[in-house]
């Protein structure tokens, strides 16, 4: 009987484990969501129509300072004084940071003492050479030593002068990057000065709209936060576009006397077109991919079909399509998460999408 139990108990345990595993597998399968590809997907859609784009086009960008510099020291040394604070106005050549010059001044003093000694030696050697008491070579060596020492003194004087770090132009201190006791070195920024007297607005302009911006021409720049308009001159048209096929355009103009326009504000330029453009228009929400490879889903016989298109113009949230979509075709504009080629779709028409 004991021998039989030895075989029966392990078999029973194995069977119980197998049954539990099968039960767990069935439970897991019941909990897994299986998407039904034949199920209809509700999507937002519009019918493509012939329409016109607005005769006015606006472009927005960020205001930047024309001149801004992070100023660093030209010589190494400990910072003894920071003479400005953030937000303070400074004038050209005004002291910003003073470095420790005690060691340089001692070296300069020692060099000047040595110079006085060489000058005295030079006078004595000149007298001796004139009386043919010594050879002229000693006089020449002293003259060369004196010339080399004068170069050394000039170098020390220049280093002492450069230890006083001054503003290269008038502006406002927009960042203080050091404190007293810090160590200054060439290439290490200490103070940032921004000149806001003249500012620029940088825009990203699509290739097809560059014709509205000619070098040297003027455009009205609107700054909504100030409820004001300014005349900006086109000073730069980028020679290289971005991946989205847009080009940087800069408009430069003078700030107000009280420097009310700050770097980082938003500016806008509105361009009046010669005439409104007509064509097949779609909401921008229908677009898949980028402007370089634009596609949309249209609905044919209740199924989603992916079609490439060509965009003639984009204005705000509207697209003008030159090919790929015909007037009257139904285009999906929303609910694209579960949409794929050949998916069964049920359109919900909305004028808001």
For 244-265, the DSSP string reads TSEEEEEEEEEPPTT--S-TT-
Q: Are residues 62 and 74 in the same domain?
A: no
Q: Retrieve residue 278's tokens.
A: 């007509």
Strand 345-349 with 41-47, pairing: parallel
Please identify, among 131, 154, 184, the residue that sits at the C-terminal boundary of a domain. 184
What is the per-residue pLDDT across 23-48, written as a single tens digit (0 to 9) for each?
666 666 556 555 556 678 888 888 88
**Span 340-353, mean pLDDT?**
76
Tally of domains in the chain: 3
Domain membership flag for residue 33 = no
Which residue range(s) make up the domain with 180? Answer: 69-184
Q: How many other CB atoms sit within 10 Å of the CB of residue 128?
A: 15
Q: What is the pLDDT of residue 352?
A: 42
* CATH number, residue 92: 2.40.50.100
Q: Are residues 200 and 139 in the same domain?
A: no
What is the per-residue pLDDT across 190-213, written as a single tens digit (0 to 9) for each?
999 999 999 999 999 888 788 888
Planar angle of CA 69, 75, 76, nearest 5 degrees: 110
Return mean pLDDT, the chain: 84
Angstrom distance (rounded) from CA 299 to CA 252: 48
What is the per-residue pLDDT across 149-161, written as a single tens digit (0 to 9) for each?
899 999 999 999 9
Q: What is the pLDDT of residue 197?
A: 92
* CATH number, residue 334: 2.40.420.20
């Amino acid at each position: 009987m004991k021998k039989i139990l030895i075989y029966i108990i392990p078999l029973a345990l194995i069977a119980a484990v197998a049954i539990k595993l099968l039960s767990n597998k069935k439970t897991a399968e019941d909990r897994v969501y299986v998407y039904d590809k034949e199920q209809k997907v509700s999507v937002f859609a519009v019918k493509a129509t012939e329409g016109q784009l607005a005769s006015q086009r606006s472009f927005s960008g960020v205001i930047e300072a024309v001149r801004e510099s992070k100023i660093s020291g030209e010589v190494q040394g400990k910072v003894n004084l920071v003479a400005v604070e953030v937000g303070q106005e400074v004038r050209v050549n005004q002291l910003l940071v003073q470095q420790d010059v005690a060691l340089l001044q001692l070296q300069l003093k020692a060099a000047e003492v040595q110079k006085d000694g060489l000058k005295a030696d030079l006078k004595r050697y000149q007298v001796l050479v004139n009386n043919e008491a010594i050879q002229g070579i000693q006089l020449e060596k002293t003259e060369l030593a004196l010339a080399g020492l004068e170069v050394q003194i000039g170098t020390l004087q220049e280093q002492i002068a450069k230890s006083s770090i001054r503003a290269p132009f008038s502006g406002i201190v927009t960042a203080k990057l050091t404190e007293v006791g810090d160590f200054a070195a060439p290439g290490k920024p200490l103070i940032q000065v921004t000149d806001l007297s003249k500012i620029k607005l940088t825009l990203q302009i699509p290739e097809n709209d560059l014709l509205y911006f000619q070098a040297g021409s003027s455009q009205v720049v609107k700054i909504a936060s100030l409820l004001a308009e300014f005349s900006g001159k086109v000073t730069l048209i980028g020679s290289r576009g971005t991946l989205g096929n847009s080009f940087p355009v800069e408009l430069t103009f003078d700030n107000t006397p009280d420097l009310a326009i700050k770097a980082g504000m938003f500016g806008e330029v509105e361009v009046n077109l010669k005439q409104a453009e007509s064509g097949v228009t779609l909401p921008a929400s229908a677009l898949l991919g980028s402007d370089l490879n634009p596609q949309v889903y249209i609905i044919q016989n209740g199924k989603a079909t992916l079609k490439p298109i060509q965009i003639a113009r984009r204005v705000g949230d509207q697209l003008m399509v030159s090919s790929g979509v015909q007037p009257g075709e139904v285009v999906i504009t929303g609910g694209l998460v579960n949409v794929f080629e050949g998916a069964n779709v049920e359109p919900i028409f909305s004028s808001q999408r």
